[in-house]
Homo-oligomer: A and B are copies of this chain.
Amino acid sequence: AIFALLQSHRDESSSPVSNTQTQKPLQGRTVTLTAGPTREAVDPVRYISNHSSGKMGYALAEAARDAGARVNLISGPVQIQAPEGVNLVQVNSACDMLEASLQHLPDTDIFIAAAAVADYRPDNAADQKMKKQPGQNELVLRLVQNPDIVATIARHEQRPFTVGFAAETQDVENYAISKLMRKNLDMIIANDVSRSDIGFNSDQNAVTVLWKQAGSADPATPDIGRYQPDQASKTTLARQLITQISDHFLHSNT
């Protein structure tokens, strides 16, 4: 059924060669992406972060630009250059990333949450550097939950077409489907970050795209659509994902 679905999209295209660079399916649309890690301050010198390199999100931003979209790239601290022609918005914390995402919401047609957002942040970031206390062998760091950026966007009244990511180390597809449903997403891109050959700092990635099938008998337990491109460079994969996303987005709008 998935193959038939993809096939039908391809048949609708005006040219026999499906190519986002010549077709520009997202011309006139605005894609807002989040990318990279967030950094949550413990004190002025320390922070909690994660191993996201931003490569996947930046590759998606480039592919969205090549598909004709205006692109807002809301990025945590990374070591890579933003693609030319995208609007780079640099942030640190999850709270800052949510604020920037909401600011761009009124103009956003497609929201892709590729950032690896910290689930928790230190309760009160100290203004002064925490001093190690002699004899204090243990320290307790109280963390509070960060806002859930992609869920906030997906439940917003000006809700754009919303795509999430699920970076998991176990039971990847089940967690991803649960996240797709719970957060009211249109699509989710799942990857297994326990594999060291792909994901995070790697240039390669292997993902599974999942979505709720339209026309399921019971909307509470819809059939799940599934697309699994071959493992590839993040650049190649990003083009395939943007094609998938724009196909679903354009169908959802017509």
User: Is A137 among interface residues, defined by CB-CB distance under 8 A?
Assistant: yes
Would you call B170 and A128 a contact (CB within 8 A)? yes
Closest to A137 in B: B145
Report how far A128 CA is from B192 CA in the complex, Å. Answer: 12
Nearest-Cβ distance from residue A136 to partner chain B, whole angstroms: 7
Copies in the complex: 2
User: Is A51 among interface residues, defined by CB-CB distance under 8 A?
Assistant: yes
Nearest-Cβ distance from residue A127 to partner chain B, whole angstroms: 8
User: Is A214 among interface residues, defined by CB-CB distance under 8 A?
Assistant: no
User: Is A223 among interface residues, defined by CB-CB distance under 8 A?
Assistant: no
Interface size on A, residues (CB 8 A): 36
Nearest-Cβ distance from residue A92 to partner chain B, whole angstroms: 11
Contact A44 to B169, CB < 8 A, known contacts A129-B193, A143-B141:
yes
Which of A45, A48, A50, A168 lies at the interface centre, i.e. has the most chain B CB atoms within 10 A of its CB?
A45
Would you call A132 and B144 a contact (CB within 8 A)? no
User: Is A138 among interface residues, defined by CB-CB distance under 8 A?
Assistant: yes
Nearest-Cβ distance from residue A59 to partner chain B, whole angstroms: 19
Which positions 147-186 of chain A face chain B at CB distance < 8 Å?
A: 167-170
Q: Can you pick out 28 interface pairs between chain A and chain B where the beta carbons lie within 8 Å of each other?
A: A44-B193, A45-B50, A45-B51, A45-B167, A45-B169, A45-B193, A47-B48, A47-B49, A47-B51, A48-B48, A49-B49, A79-B79, A119-B130, A120-B139, A123-B138, A128-B169, A129-B167, A129-B169, A129-B170, A129-B193, A138-B143, A139-B143, A139-B144, A140-B141, A140-B142, A141-B141, A141-B142, A141-B143
Which residues of A pack against B, CB within 8 Å?
42, 44-51, 79, 116, 118-120, 123, 128-130, 132, 136-145, 167-170, 193-194, 200
